[in-house]
Amino acid sequence: TQRTLVLLKPDAVRRALVGEIIGRIERKAGWSITALELRTLDGSTLEQHYGEHKGRPFYEPLIEFMASGPVVALVVEGERVIEGVRALAGPTDPIAAAPGSIRGDFGTIVRENLIHASDSEESAIRELKLFFPEH
């Protein structure tokens, strides 16, 4: 089985969509949430988390947005959960995301797209170490 890091971004918390989004993850058969915490992310954590995007035009506003309020960080465990949560989330740009996906149903603009999920096994290992080192 796999593990993945999920972040419910500050817009999800502000818009009271946490229960709705976690419900979709919980209803998926065979998956389980093995860690969960509300926390406000600092600059150093965010720079490490989104380091691959450093230098891109959207990087600074992305970091600022991600620090603008608490996020809900969770570890989800289960069969093919890395690609599975990405599929539940839908494409990065909510306009391109189909109804039925989290971003398709609730997303507004590309920066405020509600959810992060690790995009590969390597990313999952790196991000889990960063967010849940004790886990």
Instruction: Give the catalytic positions in this structure.
Output: 116
Minimum CB separation of residue 53 from ligand GTP in Å reads: 6
Instruction: Check the annotation: does 132 bind a ligand.
Output: no
Whole-angstrom distance, CA of residue 31 vs CA of residue 40: 26
Minimum CB separation of residue 36 from ligand GTP in Å reads: 17
Stretch that binds ligand GTP, among 28-36, 38-46, 94-102, 108-116 (CB under 6 A): 108-116
Whole-angstrom distance, CA of residue 8 vs CA of residue 11: 8
Instruction: Check the annotation: does 103 bind a ligand.
Output: yes
Residue among 40, 57, 39, 73 nearest 110 (CA) = 57
Site size for ligand GTP (CB under 6 A): 10
Residues of span 61-90 touching ligand GTP by CB under 6 A: 62
Stretch that binds ligand GTP, among 17-25, 40-48, 74-82, 113-121 (CB under 6 A): 113-121
Residue among 117, 131, 113, 121 nearest 44 (CA) = 131
**Collapsing DSSP states into helix, strand and coil, what is residue 9?**
coil
